[in-house]
Structure 1
Amino acid sequence: MFKRSTPILASFNEAQTIAFYTQQLGFAFCTNNNGYLIFERDGINVHLFRCNDPEAGRNMGCYIYVTDIETLYREYQALNLIHPNGPLQMMPWGLRQFAVVDNNGNIFYFADDKPVDEAGA
Protein backbone atom coordinates (compact mmCIF):
# COMPACT_ATOMS: atom_id res chain seq x y z
CA MET A 1 0.00 0.00 0.00
CA PHE A 2 2.63 2.58 1.01
CA LYS A 3 4.96 3.72 -1.77
CA ARG A 4 7.21 6.45 -0.36
CA SER A 5 7.63 8.96 2.39
CA THR A 6 8.98 12.50 2.38
CA PRO A 7 10.55 13.97 5.49
CA ILE A 8 9.55 17.52 6.40
CA LEU A 9 12.23 19.06 8.59
CA ALA A 10 13.00 22.45 10.12
CA SER A 11 15.03 25.15 8.38
CA PHE A 12 16.33 28.13 10.34
CA ASN A 13 18.04 29.96 7.46
CA GLU A 14 16.89 29.57 3.85
CA ALA A 15 20.12 30.64 2.13
CA GLN A 16 22.34 28.49 4.36
CA THR A 17 20.01 25.51 3.99
CA ILE A 18 19.95 25.79 0.20
CA ALA A 19 23.75 26.02 0.11
CA PHE A 20 24.21 23.07 2.48
CA TYR A 21 21.79 20.74 0.69
CA THR A 22 23.10 21.54 -2.79
CA GLN A 23 26.82 21.99 -2.14
CA GLN A 24 27.32 19.47 0.67
CA LEU A 25 24.62 16.80 0.47
CA GLY A 26 24.37 16.82 -3.34
CA PHE A 27 20.63 17.43 -3.57
CA ALA A 28 19.07 19.45 -6.38
CA PHE A 29 17.15 22.53 -5.23
CA CYS A 30 13.61 22.30 -6.60
CA THR A 31 11.62 25.19 -5.15
CA ASN A 32 11.21 27.78 -2.45
CA ASN A 33 7.55 28.44 -1.75
CA ASN A 34 7.59 31.26 0.80
CA GLY A 35 10.23 29.56 2.94
CA TYR A 36 9.09 26.00 2.27
CA LEU A 37 12.11 24.39 0.57
CA ILE A 38 12.09 21.25 -1.57
CA PHE A 39 15.16 19.25 -2.57
CA GLU A 40 15.61 16.05 -4.57
CA ARG A 41 18.35 13.47 -5.07
CA ASP A 42 17.93 10.16 -6.89
CA GLY A 43 14.14 10.31 -6.57
CA ILE A 44 14.22 11.06 -2.83
CA ASN A 45 12.63 14.33 -1.76
CA VAL A 46 13.37 16.28 1.40
CA HIS A 47 11.16 19.20 2.40
CA LEU A 48 12.08 21.86 4.93
CA PHE A 49 9.76 24.41 6.49
CA ARG A 50 10.74 27.83 7.79
CA CYS A 51 11.13 27.62 11.54
CA ASN A 52 11.99 30.58 13.74
CA ASP A 53 11.80 28.71 17.04
CA PRO A 54 14.80 26.44 17.68
CA GLU A 55 12.84 24.52 20.31
CA ALA A 56 10.10 23.68 17.80
CA GLY A 57 12.70 22.31 15.38
CA ARG A 58 14.60 20.14 17.85
CA ASN A 59 15.07 16.41 17.49
CA MET A 60 14.02 16.14 13.87
CA GLY A 61 15.46 13.61 11.50
CA CYS A 62 14.84 10.72 9.17
CA TYR A 63 16.19 7.55 7.62
CA ILE A 64 17.06 7.47 3.95
CA TYR A 65 17.63 3.97 2.58
CA VAL A 66 20.32 3.82 -0.08
CA THR A 67 22.19 1.47 -2.34
CA ASP A 68 26.00 1.49 -2.48
CA ILE A 69 26.28 2.89 1.02
CA GLU A 70 30.08 2.69 0.96
CA THR A 71 30.30 5.16 -1.96
CA LEU A 72 27.91 7.61 -0.30
CA TYR A 73 29.80 7.27 2.99
CA ARG A 74 33.11 8.08 1.29
CA GLU A 75 31.50 11.06 -0.50
CA TYR A 76 30.24 12.56 2.76
CA GLN A 77 33.36 11.56 4.70
CA ALA A 78 35.51 13.52 2.21
CA LEU A 79 33.33 16.57 2.98
CA ASN A 80 33.72 15.99 6.74
CA LEU A 81 29.95 15.57 7.15
CA ILE A 82 29.84 12.33 9.15
CA HIS A 83 28.51 12.83 12.68
CA PRO A 84 31.25 11.99 15.24
CA ASN A 85 29.00 9.34 16.79
CA GLY A 86 27.67 8.08 13.46
CA PRO A 87 30.35 6.25 11.43
CA LEU A 88 29.31 3.51 9.02
CA GLN A 89 28.55 0.46 11.12
CA MET A 90 26.24 -2.51 11.48
CA MET A 91 23.56 -1.77 14.03
CA PRO A 92 22.07 -4.36 16.40
CA TRP A 93 18.72 -4.00 14.62
CA GLY A 94 20.24 -5.19 11.33
CA LEU A 95 20.91 -1.97 9.41
CA ARG A 96 24.27 -0.78 8.13
CA GLN A 97 24.08 2.95 8.61
CA PHE A 98 25.88 6.23 9.18
CA ALA A 99 24.70 9.64 10.35
CA VAL A 100 24.98 13.21 9.05
CA VAL A 101 23.59 16.33 10.74
CA ASP A 102 22.55 19.19 8.47
CA ASN A 103 23.11 22.90 9.10
CA ASN A 104 19.80 23.08 11.00
CA GLY A 105 20.51 20.23 13.40
CA ASN A 106 18.34 17.68 11.56
CA ILE A 107 19.89 14.21 11.67
CA PHE A 108 19.91 11.93 8.65
CA TYR A 109 20.56 8.24 9.01
CA PHE A 110 21.62 6.78 5.69
CA ALA A 111 21.03 3.04 5.79
CA ASP A 112 21.44 -0.03 3.66
CA ASP A 113 18.89 -2.58 4.78
CA LYS A 114 20.29 -5.57 2.90
CA PRO A 115 20.44 -8.71 5.02
CA VAL A 116 23.70 -9.08 6.93
CA ASP A 117 24.96 -11.94 4.75
CA GLU A 118 24.49 -9.78 1.61
CA ALA A 119 25.84 -6.57 3.18
CA GLY A 120 29.15 -8.18 4.09
CA ALA A 121 29.21 -6.87 7.64
Structure 2
Amino acid sequence: MGFGKIIPILRSFDEARARDFYVDFLGFKIDWEHRFAPDLPLYMQVSMGECTLHLSEHHGDATPGSAVRIHTDELDALHGRLTAARYKHARPGIEQMPWGTREMAVADPFGNRLVFVGD
Protein backbone atom coordinates (compact mmCIF):
# COMPACT_ATOMS: atom_id res chain seq x y z
CA MET A 1 0.00 0.00 0.00
CA GLY A 2 1.44 3.38 -0.96
CA PHE A 3 0.52 6.88 0.03
CA GLY A 4 1.15 10.08 -1.86
CA LYS A 5 2.11 13.57 -0.84
CA ILE A 6 -0.08 15.34 1.72
CA ILE A 7 -1.34 18.82 0.79
CA PRO A 8 -3.12 20.64 3.63
CA ILE A 9 -5.96 23.03 2.84
CA LEU A 10 -5.94 26.17 4.99
CA ARG A 11 -8.86 28.58 5.19
CA SER A 12 -8.28 32.15 4.09
CA PHE A 13 -10.62 35.11 3.95
CA ASP A 14 -8.77 37.87 2.15
CA GLU A 15 -6.71 37.46 -1.02
CA ALA A 16 -4.48 40.50 -0.43
CA ARG A 17 -3.64 39.47 3.13
CA ALA A 18 -2.96 35.88 2.02
CA ARG A 19 -0.55 37.09 -0.67
CA ASP A 20 1.14 39.49 1.76
CA PHE A 21 1.72 36.71 4.32
CA TYR A 22 2.43 33.62 2.23
CA VAL A 23 4.24 35.20 -0.73
CA ASP A 24 5.76 38.49 0.44
CA PHE A 25 6.60 37.47 4.04
CA LEU A 26 7.17 33.70 4.04
CA GLY A 27 8.48 33.43 0.49
CA PHE A 28 6.06 30.90 -1.01
CA LYS A 29 5.34 31.16 -4.74
CA ILE A 30 1.88 30.97 -6.25
CA ASP A 31 1.62 27.88 -8.44
CA TRP A 32 -1.94 28.43 -9.65
CA GLU A 33 -5.24 30.09 -8.77
CA HIS A 34 -8.84 29.13 -9.48
CA ARG A 35 -12.21 30.87 -9.25
CA PHE A 36 -15.46 29.61 -10.72
CA ALA A 37 -16.24 33.21 -11.66
CA PRO A 38 -14.48 36.56 -11.07
CA ASP A 39 -16.67 37.44 -8.07
CA LEU A 40 -16.44 34.01 -6.38
CA PRO A 41 -13.98 32.77 -3.72
CA LEU A 42 -10.35 32.09 -4.54
CA TYR A 43 -8.69 28.68 -4.27
CA MET A 44 -4.93 28.68 -4.83
CA GLN A 45 -1.83 26.59 -4.42
CA VAL A 46 1.39 27.99 -2.95
CA SER A 47 4.68 26.19 -2.57
CA MET A 48 8.21 26.57 -1.27
CA GLY A 49 10.62 23.74 -2.00
CA GLU A 50 8.80 20.46 -1.39
CA CYS A 51 6.14 22.12 0.81
CA THR A 52 2.78 22.65 -0.90
CA LEU A 53 -0.28 24.31 0.67
CA HIS A 54 -3.75 25.02 -0.67
CA LEU A 55 -5.44 28.22 0.49
CA SER A 56 -9.19 28.40 0.15
CA GLU A 57 -11.74 31.16 0.60
CA HIS A 58 -14.53 28.60 0.12
CA HIS A 59 -16.77 28.07 3.14
CA GLY A 60 -16.50 24.47 4.32
CA ASP A 61 -13.13 23.68 2.74
CA ALA A 62 -11.17 24.05 5.97
CA THR A 63 -11.43 25.29 9.53
CA PRO A 64 -9.74 28.52 10.60
CA GLY A 65 -7.24 27.91 13.39
CA SER A 66 -5.71 24.77 11.92
CA ALA A 67 -2.04 23.93 12.37
CA VAL A 68 0.49 22.30 10.07
CA ARG A 69 4.03 21.15 10.82
CA ILE A 70 6.56 21.80 8.09
CA HIS A 71 9.95 20.11 8.42
CA THR A 72 13.00 22.03 7.24
CA ASP A 73 16.75 21.57 7.39
CA GLU A 74 17.18 25.35 7.14
CA LEU A 75 15.29 26.59 10.21
CA ASP A 76 17.96 29.13 11.20
CA ALA A 77 18.16 30.57 7.68
CA LEU A 78 14.36 30.84 7.49
CA HIS A 79 14.26 32.51 10.90
CA GLY A 80 16.92 35.00 9.82
CA ARG A 81 15.03 35.83 6.62
CA LEU A 82 11.71 36.30 8.45
CA THR A 83 13.34 38.44 11.14
CA ALA A 84 14.98 40.63 8.49
CA ALA A 85 11.62 41.07 6.72
CA ARG A 86 10.30 42.98 9.75
CA TYR A 87 6.71 41.87 9.03
CA LYS A 88 4.45 44.02 11.18
CA HIS A 89 2.11 41.18 12.20
CA ALA A 90 4.63 38.52 13.31
CA ARG A 91 8.13 38.23 14.72
CA PRO A 92 8.53 34.47 15.26
CA GLY A 93 11.28 33.00 17.40
CA ILE A 94 12.82 29.54 17.58
CA GLU A 95 12.08 27.36 20.60
CA GLN A 96 13.85 24.20 21.78
CA MET A 97 11.08 21.70 22.47
CA PRO A 98 11.21 19.05 25.25
CA TRP A 99 10.85 16.29 22.63
CA GLY A 100 14.13 17.29 20.96
CA THR A 101 13.14 19.48 18.02
CA ARG A 102 13.65 23.17 17.43
CA GLU A 103 10.47 24.88 16.24
CA MET A 104 9.32 28.24 14.95
CA ALA A 105 5.56 28.88 14.97
CA VAL A 106 3.91 31.69 13.05
CA ALA A 107 0.19 32.39 12.67
CA ASP A 108 -1.26 33.54 9.37
CA PRO A 109 -3.83 36.38 9.24
CA PHE A 110 -6.66 33.81 9.39
CA GLY A 111 -5.63 32.07 12.62
CA ASN A 112 -3.87 29.11 11.01
CA ARG A 113 -0.55 28.15 12.62
CA LEU A 114 2.47 27.07 10.60
CA VAL A 115 5.10 25.33 12.73
CA PHE A 116 8.46 25.07 11.00
CA VAL A 117 10.37 22.17 12.55
CA GLY A 118 14.14 21.57 12.53
CA ASP A 119 16.40 19.20 14.40
Q: How large is the Cα RMSD of the aligned pairs?
A: 2.0
Identity of aligned residues (%): 29
Match of 1:37 in 2: 44
Counterpart CA distance in 1 for 2:102 and 2:3 is 23
SS at match of 1:12: coil
Deviation string for 1:61-119 (max 9, x for gaps)? Answer: 20100012111111112234334xxx21210122110111112221110001x3xxxxx
Check if 1:46 corresponds to 2:53. Answer: yes
Q: Which amino acid aligns with 2:33?
A: N
Q: Which amino acid aligns with 2:28?
A: F
Counterpart CA distance in 1 for 2:114 and 2:101 is 14
Match of 1:119 in 2: none
Match of 2:11 in 1: 10
User: Is the contact made by 2:11 and 2:110 (CA closer than 8 Å) also made in structure 1?
Assistant: yes
Q: Which amino acid aligns with 2:96?
A: M
User: Is the contact made by 1:22 and 1:29 (CA closer than 8 Å) also made in structure 2?
Assistant: yes
**Paired residue total:** 108
Q: CA deviation at 1:24?
A: 0.7
SS at match of 1:67: coil
* Pairs within 5 Å for 1:33-112: 33-34=34-35, 35-51=42-58, 57-80=63-86, 81-83=90-92, 87-112=93-118
Q: CA deviation at 1:58?
A: 3.0
Unaligned runs of 5+ in 1: 115-121
Counterpart CA distance in 1 for 2:59 and 2:46 is 20
Q: TM-score, normalized by length of structure 1?
A: 0.77
